[in-house]
Structure 1
């Protein structure tokens, strides 16, 4: 296993060139990348064709999980929500849009189709809801079209979830009454994309929080004519004062500010695609947004100025800054060691959008995305991490997590106050012994210069139960249609112990066949989701990087003492 790093010294020269070009690049005009220019009509979730209602499997064995021995950094693992769960509820969709978060005593997971709550210490499931039932109970009649994200706000000890509504131009926000995810929720709905009068979609809503606001970004799509193709129309960033959402009477968007950035072809402003607000515990400074460029192979960052915890009135967007990241192209499909040759490279790795949460800690902003790096000359996807200065947006460090012969995709990360980072991701390849789609993780320490040093080795969290994942056709047949995966994963820090990180990602269950324990099954493969608890205190720095790690720890202690 290898992590290719770019040193801060080499980055300095690259940054000097990038900064010199930045003024011209900020004004650069171009066209949206073709693979982001349109979307199919209707919800993003795509129902498979091989599970008629008469064959939903109501009785299957849930994987109760894994518990590591004392001293093992992989503390606990358990199955969260599976496609079998959702089919039994009549909410069977692809992809799952895997997401989840850890709270005070619980772990909450959501997918397109259902939500679930688990005891975070044992993995025991406490509740499974049909997603429409969850939103109805929270006060939103009419259902949901998915794309849910969920987070836990430790300061307010409450949960928050976002999804788009039955009308796909609408966004719904739900906030729990307290730290118990089973203790009731209240919600609010608003128009996320006014757009056109028909077929508008506030797609791919993101979710982030700092001390002043909650940030929800959307990619906007709408057809030019009724029934026509749904084309990209730009983005919207919704900045909602945090006190408007976390209050006793229920969430409100009365003081929200919406920033609409329309796309009208060449000459449009590039504020990125799949806007990610930066999660931060800092009580001062502007809000920040990071995203992959909508027009070229780079990332962008900018500020949201003038926000307070009570009002977004008068807030403004700062200028877009291109980061000048290492060269990359869009990733191709992921490989797997399928028995059917046609299925050996079909798994969608999505694209280079920053699909998971972005975090600011100790003056640095951390993000990951899936890329095809041009540095290694291989046609394989990699997890690219990027660390930037939170004030200047200068790149401090970046590196690609990957190894020849394998694709790495669907990454996510979280960072604790000590600058310890855990990255979760999928890996797959053609090797029959090790190539099944696997959910894996690595941990890193942040050094004084912002570079990352790996802690311990790579962790295998869950291996798929089949070597040939595909939906839309049966066992032993060639895949039919786009093989959706993801579209995201998540890592979160335990609010009760920041050395514990909880990760959620996707893996493949066994085929829905009688010989695999599913009487009446039609022979299709099924996705599932896996939650893992990792403790970084048990992960020892690699010998060659221990000195850098120790220097970073000492410097952090010095800074904290000066701050006190």
Structure 2
């Protein structure tokens, strides 16, 4: 049954551009009311299954388009090069969150399960069947808290699985679990915003991204500019079937203003399981292309969004290209490289995409992606293979009735029909990248996949992990520096996430379960000085205290992915988030966020602070909402007192102050040079100058940001 909800999302005071005529201002104000959804509007109800969630309630089934019929010829990538116009929001902290339980939910037909290759490689001679040294494992920092899920601010899950995903930034941690997100203080774990339905963020944009809340989210952090990138897909839309809703923060503050984009990723096909990565020339995304009915898996595809424009809140384009098929089978479970180091890749270097080969378990597939923007954007793929083994994790119960997702054993009262999905045949998020410099450059990428463990009854899964290296070429194939399967006992380990700190140390988090172990969150790692192909002792991040029961209607899905990320400032502290249950049941998942680090890792030089006050000229009144941006993209916005403050890596930059919503776009000084020192504070004040003198009896004037006399004076910034 279709449900409708009314969501209020105004909460935004549009500021006028004083240089325009009053007629244009009034017209713009009316348009802004529509664009920002200032009134209540009905939002359609949605419920999703497949590689997105199963929802408690029934919902409207999406309608297939013409390509739902497998006989319809495939049209290839959707390369519409027209720029997508963004909307800039007011600070997120001023937006009323849409309660997650009132978010739209659409039921989608479950995509066909993509079958892995059937050839076997025999015993893994690099498997680690011992626990490893306790000294080689990262140590808990003592910071651990409940994320979005049962246990956070009265949150009650309405879908399964949680798609647990999160990222640490300079001051905050942002977690987005399937259809709900929250912002936390990264130092204390204190909740700063949410939990809110994901489409809360997109209400000012209107249209598909405001009406849909379909999940499969990814939280990324652009370390080169200090910005957040949040995205989720929208499917079953009309007239264009698949969209990617992308938000780029205007500053370092995830509770501040955002630039919102609605990219059509395919007008007729279903783009599933999108995974994003940050690279200097674009925001990269991989996705799986199904027909609209989800009955045919057509191809793997890479997408690139125009980063430079998106950081400025300007119209931005996307380019796409399908990945090569091997053995006439499409690539599946691919990931794009995601930059973790402050040192960017060598100038102009192509991004990486790696995937398990669809035809054999003796190879991984490598794609180097090179994009040029300019007047006529191009995307070029260099596609080769990496000679290294992998395989699929075992499915213990493996029944048609459960779509072959009843794989991972759980203790009683769980029965075999309650066993959990093992998420096989895909690299698990992320493909974390670091550039360690040198000549030639020493680049490392780390990845993991769930595979079959050693002999046991019942069979069990293990985590195979890789470190790839490259030396700066844009067409070269990364080589395997080390690879092994972590399999210290007969427990089932799966759904990993891996990352590397600035000292080459690695942390790997995952879920673990067995007939005697309740599903919980675990972690291991290795020091750079350890013997290659080995990991250290396992540590418990958070033990589960409940099993998931299929009889509740929750199905067999578990997690879908988890996230290991590294503090961009100290470059040593790992933050890991994953799923667990507090009690037996279904639709009752919790998530945990915890931080770890290796004691031997010395923090990178601390970032410095740029601060100052922005005032209106000639009144001298403080201005709120002005964004101060550095030449590296780092930015902060002024508060009600006209004060801005944000963290920046040490260095020398040029600065500018501007506000697109005001006509106060001329600043004095215009482009000053600022030098940021480690742990230091640099102060740079600005005066903003406008150009108009408008006054109209029928329009209420708010010049609280100016001289407070109730009329618009020359060179004064005001609000209509």
Q: How does the TM-score come out when normalised to structure 1?
A: 0.71
Match of 1:548 in 2: none
Q: 1:367 to 1:43 in 2, by over 3 A?
A: closer
Equivalent positions of 1:21-100 (< 5 A) are: 44-48=52-56, 73-82=140-149, 92-100=158-166
2:160 match: secondary structure: coil
Kindly report the root-mean-square deviation, in angstroms, between the aligned alpha carbons of the 2 structures.
Answer: 3.2
CA contact (8 A) 2:427 2:447 kept: yes
Match of 1:242 in 2: 307
Match of 1:9 in 2: none
Moved more, 435-444 or 480-489: 480-489
The Cα shift of 1:313 comes to 2.1
Which of 388, 411, 417 is 2:502 aligned to? 417
C-alpha offsets along residues 508-542 of structure 1, whole Å, 9 cap, x if unaligned?
1225xxxxxxxxxxx646111110110212699xx
Q: Aligned pair 1:334/2:408, yes or no?
A: yes
Match of 1:122 in 2: 188
C-alpha offsets along residues 65-110 of structure 1, whole Å, 9 cap, x if unaligned?
xxxxxx9534311000105769957x71111100000011110000
The Cα shift of 1:445 comes to 2.4
Q: Aligned pair 1:111/2:177, yes or no?
A: yes
CA contact (8 A) 1:73 1:539 kept: no
Match of 1:215 in 2: 284
Q: Aligned pair 1:454/2:535, yes or no?
A: yes
- Following the alignment from structure 1 to structure 2, what is the Cα–Cα distance between the partners of residues 375 and 212? 46
Moved more, 371-380 or 146-155: 371-380
C-alpha offsets along residues 174-201 of structure 1, whole Å, 9 cap, x if unaligned?
101111100022211122123x3xxx31
- Following the alignment from structure 1 to structure 2, what is the Cα–Cα distance between the partners of residues 311 and 366? 35
2:244 match: secondary structure: strand
Q: 1:537 to 1:42 in 2, by over 3 A?
A: closer
1:318 match: secondary structure: strand
- Gaps spanning 5+ residues in structure 2: where? 1-47, 59-100, 103-137, 396-406, 435-441, 471-475, 603-720
The Cα shift of 1:297 comes to 2.3
Moved more, 128-137 or 114-123: 128-137
Which of 276, 279, 294 is 2:335 aligned to? 276
Which of 258, 272, 275 is 1:185 aligned to? 258
- Gaps spanning 5+ residues in structure 1: where? 1-39, 51-55, 58-70, 474-479, 512-522, 541-564
Match of 2:242 in 1: 169
Q: 1:274 to 1:394 in 2, by over 3 A?
A: same
Match of 1:31 in 2: none
CA contact (8 A) 1:211 1:283 kept: no
- Following the alignment from structure 1 to structure 2, what is the Cα–Cα distance between the partners of residues 190 and 41? 23
- Following the alignment from structure 2 to structure 1, what is the Cα–Cα distance between the partners of residues 571 and 320? 33
- Following the alignment from structure 2 to structure 1, what is the Cα–Cα distance between the partners of residues 548 and 506? 30
- Following the alignment from structure 1 to structure 2, what is the Cα–Cα distance between the partners of residues 331 and 86? 37
- Following the alignment from structure 2 to structure 1, what is the Cα–Cα distance between the partners of residues 338 and 294? 35
Q: 1:470 to 1:134 in 2, by over 3 A?
A: farther
Q: 1:427 to 1:267 in 2, by over 3 A?
A: closer
- Following the alignment from structure 1 to structure 2, what is the Cα–Cα distance between the partners of residues 442 and 424? 6
Equivalent positions of 1:120-519 (< 5 A) are: 120-128=186-194, 129-137=196-204, 140-166=209-235, 167=237, 169-194=242-267, 196=268, 200-223=269-292, 230-247=295-312, 249-250=313-314, 252-254=315-317, 256-261=318-323, 268=328, 270=330, 272-280=331-339, 281-284=344-347, 285-307=349-371, 313-321=377-385, 323-332=386-395, 333-342=407-416, 346-361=419-434, 362-373=442-453, 379-390=459-470, 391-431=476-516, 435-447=517-529, 451-455=532-536, 457-466=537-546, 468-473=547-552, 482-511=555-584
Q: 1:72 to 1:489 in 2, by over 3 A?
A: closer
The Cα shift of 1:460 comes to 0.6
Moved more, 376-385 or 408-417: 376-385
Q: 1:313 to 1:351 in 2, by over 3 A?
A: same
C-alpha offsets along residues 21-58 of structure 1, whole Å, 9 cap, x if unaligned?
xxxxxxxxxxxxxxxxxxx98772111369xxxxx89x
Query: Size of the alignment, in residue pairs?
Result: 443
Q: Pick the structure with greater CA Rg.
A: 2
CA contact (8 A) 1:275 1:290 kept: yes
- Following the alignment from structure 2 to structure 1, what is the Cα–Cα distance between the partners of residues 581 and 412? 13
- Following the alignment from structure 1 to structure 2, what is the Cα–Cα distance between the partners of residues 392 and 48? 45
- Following the alignment from structure 2 to structure 1, what is the Cα–Cα distance between the partners of residues 49 and 161? 16
Q: 1:447 to 1:364 in 2, by over 3 A?
A: farther
CA contact (8 A) 1:241 1:308 kept: no
CA contact (8 A) 1:119 1:125 kept: yes
Q: How does the TM-score come out when normalised to structure 2?
A: 0.57
1:171 match: secondary structure: strand
The Cα shift of 1:131 comes to 1.3
- Following the alignment from structure 2 to structure 1, what is the Cα–Cα distance between the partners of residues 371 and 143? 39
Q: 1:524 to 1:359 in 2, by over 3 A?
A: closer
Larger helix percent: 1
- Following the alignment from structure 2 to structure 1, what is the Cα–Cα distance between the partners of residues 413 and 369? 54
